[in-house]
Amino acid sequence: MNSHLQSILNFIEQDKRLSAEEKNTILKSLKDADKELEITTFKLDRTEKVKKTTAILLEETITELEQKRKAVEAQNRGLEIESSLERVRTVAMAMRKPDDMLDVCQMISDQLQVLGFKEIRNVQTVIIYEQKHEYLNYQYFAPYDKNSIEVIDYTLHPDVLQFAEQMLQSADAYYTKTFEGEALEAWREYRKQTNQLPDPKLDESTSSHYYFYSIGSGALGVTTYAPLDEAQISLFKRFRNVFSLAYHRFIDIEKAEVKGLANDRGNTINRNHAIARFIRADGPVPSSSNRMKLDGTKAEDGSIPAETELELARQFSDIMVLDILTGEWDRFSGGNVEGGHVGDRAVFISRDNGGATMAGAGNFNKYSSIVTRFNRSTIERVQKVVQLLNDPNEKPQLVAALQLKSDPKFLLARCNQVLAHVKALVTKYGENAVYF
């Protein structure tokens, strides 16, 4: 019995004023009260135990749910990252020509932003030519949605030299650099002096951050207007691993030098090569049905792609015209006569590795002795360029579209040289011999 009730019971039993019947009645009431109190106490105790058990279970449930939530978030993040990497991998494997590297840059930039990267300036893929002390820089600038291909002499700036040397040291090298204060101001000036793509946001920024992972003679980099954290840097390395696919594909394309067409000792064409004869008005007429192969090129499966004599001759004649207009001087110096393929069809690749200039007289005399047969539609385009450059209303738009940094008079002069050259050849050989 409850101790308090027991005390009352003892007191009543000792009271001689109460009759036995009254004592029995009170005793019964006390026992009933004690029983009800025990039941209430039991219920309260049970309720408390249930509450404690429920609290423990609830706490465990909340902890478990939190763990599951974190696990699901981590899984979703992992899937999101893998999806982004796969998109980059798809674009990398679709490369068909070196300039497709720009698509890889843009895709990496887009996916980094999807994954939460902020303040991305650009994504760069760098191909280093150690013998020339240059690197070819493919860049996508996110703030302006613009591509840029630049040839950089890495000996002109100590930080750029350090970057190139560090990238060449190891295929796993990592380079990072932050420009702030006076160093940033000097860096802006260096970019202007070397005619790199204008970056108004960089001009207003208080810092610029560079992160590069090596891949042998190349590198993948991201530059930002605000620093990356360690997790982002680690994540970016995974994109570097995927970039290696694009890099090796680039190298496969780049190494496809057409053998035998260049006389690299004389930095001129090998005039005995079939293509060299096809692009001359006094040479044999290329066939529209006979297919020829470009020695040195091959497809991924090892097969040798081919194309008609006429199509390949037209392509290389177009390259010669382009070289005249852009002031190319080292097409035949070694490694710059390139071929590739689209499916099973062979193609020539025209790419400038820094041996061209849009200023000055150019190299018309050299190339005009090499090419004397032309694609009619190409010459018509040259005529259109002359027309637009001579039109004061159209000229600014054309200059902007071409991103022409030199005086347009040089391009106009070269176009007129080509047209005069073609006119003289038509007079000498006739249209059928001069045009494909």
Domain boundaries, the chain: 3-69, 96-254, 262-434
C-alpha 298/C-alpha 347 separation (Å) is: 11
C-alpha 216/C-alpha 243 separation (Å) is: 12
DSSP assignment letter at 257: B
Q: Which tokens go with 411?
A: 């391009």
Q: Which tokens go with 176?
A: 């990072």
C-alpha 378/C-alpha 318 separation (Å) is: 7
Structural contact between residues 292 and 312, judged by C-beta atoms closer than 8 angstroms: yes
Which string of DSSP letters, residue by residue, matches 325-356? Answer: HHT---TTSSS-SEEEEETTEEEEE---SS--
User: What is the dihedral angle through the alpha carbons of 24, 30, 34, 37, rounded to the nearest 10 degrees?
Assistant: 150
C-alpha 24/C-alpha 200 separation (Å) is: 103
CB count within 10 Å of CB 166 equals 15
Measured in degrees and rounded to the nearest 5, phi and psi for residue 55 equal -65, -40
pLDDT digits (tens, 9 = 90+) for 184-193: 999 999 999 9
Q: Which residues contact 429 (CB under 8 A, 6 or more apart)?
A: 281, 282, 372
Structural contact between residues 136 and 124, judged by C-beta atoms closer than 8 angstroms: no
Q: Which tokens go with 243?
A: 């970039």
Query: Quick one: fold of 96-254?
Result: Beta-Lactamase (3.30.450)
CB count within 10 Å of CB 152 equals 20
Structural contact between residues 34 and 44, judged by C-beta atoms closer than 8 angstroms: no
Q: What share of the chain is helix, strand, coil (3-state, %, to 5)?
A: 55, 15, 30
How high is the pLDDT of residue 252?
A: 59
In the chain the first and final C-alpha atoms are separated, in Å, by 120
Half-sphere exposure of 74 (CA within 13 A, CB side): 6
In the structure, how many helices (H) and strands (E) does the chain have?
14, 12
Half-sphere exposure of 355 (CA within 13 A, CB side): 19
C-alpha 191/C-alpha 394 separation (Å) is: 30
The pTM for the full model equals: 0.51
pLDDT < 70 stretches in the chain = 1-2, 4-5, 9, 11, 13, 96, 245-246, 248-256, 300, 352-355
Q: Which residues contact 237 (CB under 8 A, 6 or more apart)?
A: 174, 213
C-alpha 14/C-alpha 1 separation (Å) is: 18
The angle, 0 to 180 degrees and rounded to 10, between the axes of the packed helices 376-389 and 408-429 is: 140
Q: CA of 75: how far to CAs of 80, 130, 189, in Å?
A: 9, 43, 46
